[in-house]
Structure 1
Amino acid sequence: MRSIQSTLFTLLVASGAACADTTLNLTQGVSPISRDVYQLHMTIFWICVAIGLVVFGVMFYSMIYHRKSRGAKPANFHSHTWLEITWTIIPVIILVLMAIPATKVLMNMNNYDQEDVTIKITGYQWKWHYEYIEDGVKFFSNLATPYDQMQNKAPKSEYYLREVDHPLVVPVHKKIRFLITSNDVNHAWWVPDLAVKRDAIGGIINEAWAVIDKPGVYRGQCAELCGINHAFMPIVVVALSEEGYKNWVAQQKGQATSGEADIAREWTMKELMDKGESVYNGICAACHQPGGVGMPPTFPALKGSKIATGPVADHVNIVVNGKSGTAMQAFKNQLSDVDLAAVITYERNAFGNNTGSLVQPVQIKALRDGKSMDEALAVKPSAAGAAAVPATPPTTPSTTPTVAPAGAAPTAAPAGTTPTAAPAGTTPTAAPAGTTPTAAPAGTTPAAAPAGTTPTAAPAGTTPAAAPAGTTPAASSADDLKAAMVRGEKVYLSTCVACHQQNGAGIPPTFPALKGGAIATGPVDGHIDRVLNGKQGTAMVAFKDQLNDQDLADVITYERNAWDNNTGTLVTPDQIKAARQQGQNNK
């Protein structure tokens, strides 16, 4: 008996020494709260061990030494006042002793003063949305494990079901305050290494905080049963140094110095046309069509239109600010200065418009900064890409082409006179149709324009990028559809597949099939509305706040062309933006 007791005692001591390393125990974590919780846990654990030894010791002693076979006889009494008082007081004292350290830890866990970073965390079915309150950065974090691994069609990675596309990035040695809520059902944000586990409940903000001691990657998951994809809702926290965190924030906000240099520098016509074509095909082509022919009367043609061939100021204004009462929305908050300048330049020189007008990003920036339209269009980029300077008077030679004032027409030389040579290195101004073109730079011979046509002006040394009249942009709709299908499949497999299945067959009647379904093969407007706004009374939730415009356009395109649906529909971000705007107008 003594040998058995000695062995059990030795094992107990050994297990206590190794308890911090076992995966069955709590971890000490990487934050002060996590270590406090661990120490509290171990204190309570050993108190429970001591109580267990005493209670079970008395029980086993009584069973061994007071058993019937040894002639023991039970006492005959119904109560003992002092005994009952004693075994009531002792547990109360023990509970008080346990409550004191527990209360200290609990109060510390709820001390939200003097935070350095505040992050709002919103649970969705089945992803997390993070919003950095002070820095203005926000994004969704989705499971990144490939669907083939979940279906056992590919080897599972080290972090199977515990990897995301956009992790939560935080700085070390800073107090981070988490505001946790939900957009739909109840969730729970749980990261063991941070000792943070808070319920995410719609309409309620729960709070938690952490100070991470060392850089690293810390993983967690949703800890509240929240639906069919509850197991596919991981959390990844990446802790960086303070400098690394600041660089990450700057990258997310697009405030790299190279971006500012791109705005300030002078862009050539070819650069703007190449950039503008990609922006147009991704944003504008859905409404105005790749050939600029539009879909009148809702989406007017740009080819030969008054806007695209008229005053530059009118064109800039309608693209930047939109037009009330029409489907033309404002793009000032959707596109960058470079994108806006490039797409306006492209529209004015593609589809046979060939105006020769060139809008610089610095002019768009000046408009954002509060300058009037005429003042903004008079701003010229600096040759070295530094700060922009106001346009110089016409008498001063200049090496930078300028945009003509809104509505102004080039001045033709009087009949019979000699055209005035342009300053060396400048771009000659296109002459109006039927007039004599302005002379080329000194020392060159201007090429006569065909009668009745308007020659296209291009920056010195470059070839105009405008497409011949009647042609379409280089990127074909077939290529765009193929690229959208590739992107859309990824969105579908990370967001929709749990309900509608990989082959689009769904799980009727709760999750209807998309393969051959009325929504996926019917009117595209109905499909967009269903994905954007969901359907009340069904399991179909609204994705307008969960996916960005590009992802929504791609996944709808995928659903309309996968599984032999083959509708040929290409949905673009511009259509999603228009649907969002329409929804706002209907409220």
Structure 2
Amino acid sequence: MGKHKLIWLVLVSLFTNSAWAEMQLNLTKGVTAVSRDVYDLHMLVLWICTAIGVIVFGAMFWSMAFHRKSKGAKAADFHESTKVEILWTAIPIVILIAMAVPATTTLIAMEDNTNSDVTIQITGSQWKWHYKYFDQDIEYYSVLSTPPEQYQNQQETTAIKGEHYLLEVDKPLVIPANKKVRFLITSDDVIHSWWVPAFAIKQDANPGFINEAWTRVDEPGIYRGQCAELCGKDHGFMPIVVEVKSAEDYDIWLNEQQQRIAQAASAEQASLTTAMSKAELMQLGKTTYTAYCSACHQPSGLGLPPAFPALKGSPITTTGTIQDHINIVFNGKTGTGMQAYGKQLSLKELAAVITYERNAWGNNTGDLVQASDVKSAVASSVEGKAQEATASLAIETAVEEAVEIITEEVPVEDLSKVYSHDELMTMGEKVYLKACVACHQPTGAGLPPAFPALKGSVIATGDITVHLDMVINGSKKNAAMTAFGSQLTKTEIAAVVTYERNAWGNNTGDLVQPAAVDAASAK
């Protein structure tokens, strides 16, 4: 009797929901309402598929065992049965509907980014994440903190790998608990994927596009993930760590970040008047190089040609000018894997790593670069680009003036002028194709959910004052919708709003004049 009870307990434990949830081979249940819905949906479909498999294979094996020829069974001679065909068509339809209803509900919830409390832009970069908090002057990079010696299996360091080996970063993403956090996910180089299993979020980061996701975590804690898209050589060293804090702790963290930014600015200013010794520069430079450069150019400086050229004996680091060296480290190099580190490193760190590269691995140029040298070089580069832009602008201006003289002088905007329907639509189409088409598309269909459709939308067919406010001041709910009040003239705004309210079959018949835009802007 005891043996039978033991078997029964084992079977029950195997098929309970909690037991499945704790299995490492199963989908994780997560810590958000959406992640739990996804888990429940997964289990529902799993049990439906299991039941179908048991019934189908059970019937098949039973038929083979009890209707075999050796037992005298004879095959049926009917060719077709209408009842059977109706049944095997109707039953799968019912099953599909039973799975589609909860699946659709869950998918709609996953895509609902409205009424968010915090909006964070996430940018994937080889091989790190950049986080930028909207409405807060806070942004930073999050980089793998596992020492390279460990994942390169050098010497005895392999024995001290921590619990979160390859899943630890120097600066985690911090979000508040019990708040709806909206993520705008993109990339500045190749395709990455921001994946945090506990949140049921796996969203591609595509260069030139913005994908959206959101989460609301009930309990504070630390949750980990990884880049889930093969993004290059160091794809496996691009972890994600999210720290969820209580509302009080999150406010404290925000204040700490503001203080850190202020202190960094003061330290940056102080570094401009402080000269570091060669030993100090080489020590800081080696630390910075190991953290940011060694993955591509290797600790030995030999690189991985041709994608990542050697720095040892390189013309850039030996015979090249310091100005050119600073420029390539600060601004990167278009069309290559060399990123811009101007926003990632302080002036002191930039000076140190450039000094290190010019004196390590036998380069021995003897050059010492200070933070003030970096600032001067960057300023000279910016000034040079500004002069080029000014010269180019002067030429363009001269051409425009010549064209204006040949044709006619551009009139000053007249806010009291009343335009006809055809005038507004012609002008509005030109403005739309210049300022709006990239996001909302020529057809007005948009790129949902980041860029909603204007064709048949509530904005383009509803209250004009709401439509004007959206175009003039942008959207607080959708950070992707910028304010055009300072980019377009009032006449252009009047024209493009008229166009949007009458194009693509909207046909509201509304005509918006510059005076109406002027009145809306004054509110």
Q: TM-score, normalised by structure 1?
A: 0.59
| Deviation, structure 1 residue 41 | 1.3
| Deviation, structure 1 residue 236 | 0.6
Cα pair 2:20 2:26 within 8 Å, conserved: yes
SS at match of 2:309: coil
Cα pair 2:327 2:381 within 8 Å, conserved: no
1:74–1:518 Cα change, 3 Å: farther
After superposition, the C-alpha distances for 1:384-411 in whole angstroms (9 at most, x for unaligned) are xxxxxxxxxxxxxxxxxxxxxxxxxxxx
The equivalent of 1:118 in structure 2 is: 119
The equivalent of 2:61 in structure 1 is: 60
SS at match of 1:25: coil
1:255–1:221 Cα change, 3 Å: closer
The equivalent of 2:305 in structure 1 is: 508
After superposition, the C-alpha distances for 1:524-564 in whole angstroms (9 at most, x for unaligned) are 22222222333344333333344443433332222222212
Q: How does 1:97-246 map to 2 (within 5 A)?
A: 97-153=98-154, 154=157, 155-246=160-251
Aligned-partner Cα distance in 2 for 1:558–1:70: 87
| Deviation, structure 1 residue 513 | 1.3
The equivalent of 1:247 in structure 2 is: 252
Aligned-partner Cα distance in 2 for 1:225–1:510: 17
- Equivalent position amino acid for 2:112 in 1: N
| Deviation, structure 1 residue 7 | 11
Aligned residue pairs: how many?
373
Cα pair 2:128 2:142 within 8 Å, conserved: yes
The equivalent of 2:368 in structure 1 is: 570
| Deviation, structure 1 residue 571 | 2.6
Q: How does 1:67-82 map to 2 (within 5 A)?
A: 67-76=68-77, 79-82=80-83
| Deviation, structure 1 residue 575 | 3.3
Give the structure with the larger helix fraction: 2
After superposition, the C-alpha distances for 1:318-372 in whole angstroms (9 at most, x for unaligned) are xxxxxxxxxxxxxxxxxxxxxxxxxxxxxxxxxxxxxxxxxxxxxxxxxxxxxxx
Q: How does 1:19-58 map to 2 (within 5 A)?
A: 19-58=20-59
1:92–1:34 Cα change, 3 Å: same
| Deviation, structure 1 residue 10 | 7.5
Identity %: 51
Moved more, 56-65 or 535-544: 535-544
Aligned-partner Cα distance in 2 for 1:214–1:93: 38
Q: TM-score, normalised by structure 2?
A: 0.66
- Equivalent position amino acid for 1:560 in 2: R
User: Does 2:523 align with 1:524?
Assistant: no
Cα pair 2:268 2:347 within 8 Å, conserved: no
Across the aligned residues of Structure 1 and Structure 2, the Cα RMSD in angstroms comes to 2.8
Q: How does 1:443-462 map to 2 (within 5 A)?
A: none
Aligned-partner Cα distance in 1 for 2:15–2:256: 47
Aligned-partner Cα distance in 1 for 2:184–2:260: 26
| Deviation, structure 1 residue 128 | 0.5
Aligned-partner Cα distance in 2 for 1:540–1:140: 16
Aligned-partner Cα distance in 1 for 2:226–2:315: 36
SS at match of 1:134: coil
Aligned-partner Cα distance in 1 for 2:13–2:214: 35
1:87–1:281 Cα change, 3 Å: same
Greater C-alpha radius of gyration:
1
5+ residue gaps, structure 1, are 1-5, 261-274, 291-476
The equivalent of 2:271 in structure 1 is: 282
- Equivalent position amino acid for 1:69 in 2: S
Q: How does 1:165-564 map to 2 (within 5 A)?
A: 165-254=170-259, 282-284=271-273, 477-478=276-277, 481-522=278-319, 523-564=321-362
Aligned-partner Cα distance in 2 for 1:541–1:146: 21
1:489–1:102 Cα change, 3 Å: same
Aligned-partner Cα distance in 2 for 1:584–1:542: 15
| Deviation, structure 1 residue 13 | 4.1
After superposition, the C-alpha distances for 1:195-228 in whole angstroms (9 at most, x for unaligned) are 1111111121111111111111111111111111
| Deviation, structure 1 residue 582 | 4.1
